[in-house]
């Protein structure tokens, strides 16, 4: 169990397990095997066991994992056994949709503050929260003990705003601007890039990929039809 290396994908899968376990719990199962959990998330049983084993031994040989307890352990590992105070910066299209997005609150991510630098928006009300100006940022983030910021501003102003946010001591940012933001090493940032996902689908369609199963993530078979037909220079092929 020494020098564990926990990959980003392991953490993402924990999120999936957590959601699956929520369902399993509603179905009144007390235990679940790695096999069944894997089936529900289209993974392999070994993958499930390996992922969980990084964090401890939660199961019982011969029996499986206790649903409630495993769910609680994963919540603990992910840090969602508590609630988080969240501020949202940028109350445009995406921003205002996110204020109303129920899944955040359901998982304990509570949007407490809204900010925008547009004078016309300041003071307006979204779901009972009134929009503050960026001047108030630092004081309000501190007073409301905000630990996490969702950034939904245009790409052009994102870097300046993220600098400001970082100066206020925020260590975790979920960014919706389609741009690579620079932050100090001790600040965590994740970027949601919705266009990139559409581009991935576009790539899949035009290259007629054999659909990736959940077990094999490699996309073989690129090329033949599309690349040769349209004259790619592709070295030795």
Residue that has been written with the tokens 């070994």 in this structure? 46
Query: Which of residues 22, 23, 57, 130 is near DNA by CB under 7 A?
Result: 57
**Least distance in angstroms from the C-beta of 135 to its own copies:** 26
| φ, ψ of residue 145 in degrees (nearest 5) | 50, 50
- Which of these ranges, 44-52, 115-123, 128-136, 198-206, lies near its own copies under the rule CB under 8 A? 198-206
Cβ-contact 141, 170 below 8 angstroms: yes
> Is 101 one of the binding residues for DNA (CB under 7 A)?
no
Q: How far apart are the first and last CA of the chain?
A: 45
Rounded CA-CA distance 117/209 in Å is 44
- Which of these ranges, 44-52, 116-124, 133-141, 169-177, lies near its own copies under the rule CB under 8 A? 169-177
Rounded CA-CA distance 74/210 in Å is 34
Binding string, residues 56-95; x marks residues near its own copies by CB under 8 A: xxx--------------x--xxxxx---x-x------xx-
Residue (78 or 134) nearer to DNA, CB: 78
Q: Of DNA, its own copies, none, which one sits near residue 159, judging by CB under 5 to 8 A according to partner kind?
A: none
> Is 229 one of the binding residues for its own copies (CB under 8 A)?
no
> Is 184 one of the binding residues for DNA (CB under 7 A)?
no
> Is 50 one of the binding residues for its own copies (CB under 8 A)?
no
Alpha helices, DSSP H only, in 54-113? Answer: 67-78, 93-100, 102-106
Within 195-224, which residues bind DNA (CB under 7 A)? Answer: 215-218
CB atoms within 10 A of CB 127: 9
Cβ-contact 146, 88 below 8 angstroms: no
Residue (83 or 214) nearer to DNA, CB: 214
**Which residues pair with residue 109 across a beta bridge?**
84
**3-class secondary structure, 61:** coil
Give the footprint of DNA on this chain (CB under 7 A): 1, 5, 7-10, 32-35, 43-47, 49-50, 52-53, 57-65, 215-218, 235-236
């Amino acid at each position: 169990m020494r020098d564990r290396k926990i990959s980003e994908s392991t953490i993402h899968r924990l999120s999936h397990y957590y959601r699956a376990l929520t369902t399993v719990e509603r179905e009144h199962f007390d235990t679940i095997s790695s096999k069944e959990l894997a089936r529900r998330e289209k993974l392999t049983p070994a993958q499930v066991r390996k992922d969980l084993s990084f964090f401890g031994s939660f199961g019982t040989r011969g029996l499986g994992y206790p649903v409630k307890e495993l769910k609680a352990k994963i919540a603990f590992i992910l840090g969602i056994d508590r609630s988080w105070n969240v501020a949202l910066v940028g109350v445009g299209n995406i921003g205002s949709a996110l204020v109303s997005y129920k899944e955040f609150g359901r998982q304990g991510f509570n949007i407490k503050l809204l900010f925008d630098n547009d004078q016309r928006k300041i003071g307006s009300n979204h779901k009972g929260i009134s929009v503050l100006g960026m001047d108030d940022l630092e004081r309000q983030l501190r007073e409301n003990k905000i630990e996490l910021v969702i950034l939904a501003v245009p790409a052009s102003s994102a870097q300046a705003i993220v600098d400001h946010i970082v100066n206020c001591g925020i260590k975790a940012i979920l960014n919706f601007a389609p741009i690579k933001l620079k932050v100090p090493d001790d600040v965590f940032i994740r970027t949601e890039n919705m266009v990139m996902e559409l581009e991935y689908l576009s790539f899949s369609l035009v290259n007629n990929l054999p659909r990736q199963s959940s077990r094999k993530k490699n996309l073989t078979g690129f090329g033949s039809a599309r690349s040769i037909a349209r004259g790619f220079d592709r070295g030795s092929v």
